[in-house]
Amino acid sequence: MKDQRFWDGYFAVVAGAVATAVLFAWQPRDTPVAEGVIAVMAGLYWFAGRKLVRGRPGGDWYVYATLTAFAVGTFALSTVSYLLFALCPLLFMILPVTRAVGAVLVANTAPIFAGFLRGGGDWTFVAMNGPIFAMTATVAVGMGLFITRIIIQSEERAALIAELETSRAEVSRLSHEAGAAAERARLAGEIHDTLAQGFTSIITLLQAADPHLTDDRLRLAVDTAKENLAESRTLVAALTPSALGTGSLPEAVRRQATRTPQPATFRCTGTHRALPTAVEVVLLRTAQEALTNARRHAAAAQVTVVLAYTEEQVRLSVQDDGAGFAAGSSRGFGLTGMQARADQVGGELTVRSVPGRGVTVELEIPG
């Protein structure tokens, strides 16, 4: 916006100065025409040219109209040719380089032909002013090419800076994810080495004191320790998805599918791409939970697992032909846990089931 105001002011100053010069060089027959041409060129710039300077397309008609008005003005009065100080840079700002060079040459040639025709074939005017306008055209073209090159370099530098900013943001994101993964691994190790080992020791000591657990209090303590040991192992598994540590997400899901007692098929569609660790963990855990439900509760004969990558999202589908369940019945902790994990990564979990026709679990996550 600041550059636009600067150029508007520059064009207004040049047009005003030329209009004043034409007024002081008063020629009753030609001055009104010259002043009218300057007004037309100023109006064309205000209503169309300044938009083209900002990058609007379709400037051919404006160039033709401006050059025609300029030629008419220089034919009426040679003082109008001083508008070249504004016209030449303007042409380079709104036209491609090659066409701008041609238009600038035409603009600088127009005063020569206008003076020649105005003088009725005045070759003396051409001989005297031709070299001046040739030098003006050369300087204008050189300056235009120089400024255009600077603009191109500035745009390339801006694109490079934007690319570097994007790369830096990506590096920061990856570093954050790596740090989070390392912290999860550390917490998993702490839980395994302290809580899990502690519960195991408690169970061992209590069973050594009463192998048959005839004391109800000891039996209750052992059962409680076993439950907490299972919980601690679940936390360790959630923090360190070992299945992802040995390969890609499709490979990890494929391994889970092949470990079920029922015949299970796995299919991956689309182009595999790396996803944030949290997203991959949720997809893997959802597949594990759905396969576990099919094994324990559905009595399914066939399970189909599909992992689909699209440009906008990743979709996991686990379908079995087991017993299913009625709508509105208790979904249990497994499905509730899957829903909670999906919410954490902005995913959408859908569970469809009809008694006797199996269950379909679908998880869609943007990314």
Tokens 């169970």 -> residue? 203
Distance CA 31, CA 79 (A): 10
359-366 β-sheet, strand order: 264-269, 303-309, 313-320, 359-366, 348-353
The rounded Cα 298 to chain-centroid distance in angstroms is 44
282-325 pLDDT, tens digit per residue, is 888 888 888 877 777 667 778 889 999 988 899 999 988 877 77
DSSP string, 77-107: -GGGGGGHHHHHHHHHHHS-HHHHHHHHHHH
Positions of the chain with pLDDT under 70: 1-4, 55-59, 119-134, 136-144, 148, 170-171, 173-175, 177-179, 181-182, 185-186, 188-189, 192-193, 236-247, 260-263, 297-298, 326-334
Prediction pTM value = 0.41
Q: Rg for the chain (alpha carbons), in Å?
A: 40
Tokens 């052992």 -> residue? 222
Q: What angle do CA 276, 278, 280 make, to 5 degrees?
A: 70
pLDDT value, residue 357: 79
Joined tokens for residue 21: 């010069």
pLDDT value, residue 2: 44
pLDDT value, residue 208: 82
pLDDT value, residue 126: 56
Element (H, E) at 349: strand 348-353
Of the candidates 355, 362, 289, 286, which has an alpha carbon nearest to the alpha carbon of residue 319?
Answer: 362
Joined tokens for residue 110: 């127009």
47-79 pLDDT, tens digit per residue, is 887 778 776 666 678 888 888 888 888 888 888
How do beta strands 264-269 and 303-309 pair? parallel
